[in-house]
């Protein structure tokens, strides 16, 4: 079965870090953007394998909202 999930990717001096907000604790890292995307997809697949169908539906039904805001620093 196929699911769409949200992932957040952050870059720092060590590489890339990714996590899935719908799945608490599901995270990964990689040296490149391509690597972190492959790694988080694998982590999500393994995470979902541990859940029942009902748990998957409940976890993936969470509404995730994202936006960007402009802020000013004094």
**What's 33's domain CATH number?**
3.30.160.250
Per residue in 6-58, pLDDT (tens digit) is 999 999 999 999 999 999 999 999 999 999 999 999 999 999 999 999 999 99
Which pairs count as long-range contacts for 20-25, CB under 8 Å and 24+ apart, including other chains? 20/44, 20/47, 21/62, 21/64, 22/59, 22/60, 22/62, 22/64, 23/47, 23/48, 23/59
Residue 1: inside a domain: no
Give the global pTM. Answer: 0.85
Residue 52 lies in domain: 8-60
Residue 72: inside a domain: no
The count of domains in the chain is 1
Residue 73: inside a domain: no
Residue 53: inside a domain: yes
Residue 68: inside a domain: no
Residue 30: inside a domain: yes
């Amino acid at each position: 079965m196929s699911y769409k999930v949200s992932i957040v990717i952050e870059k720092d001096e060590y590489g890339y870090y990714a996590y899935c907000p719908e799945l608490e604790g599901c995270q990964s890292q990689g040296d490149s953007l391509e690597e972190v995307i492959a790694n988080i997809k694998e982590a999500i697949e393994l995470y979902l394998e541990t859940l029942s169908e009902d748990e998957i539906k409940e976890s993936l039904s969470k509404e995730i909202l994202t936006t960007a805001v402009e802020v000013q620093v004094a």
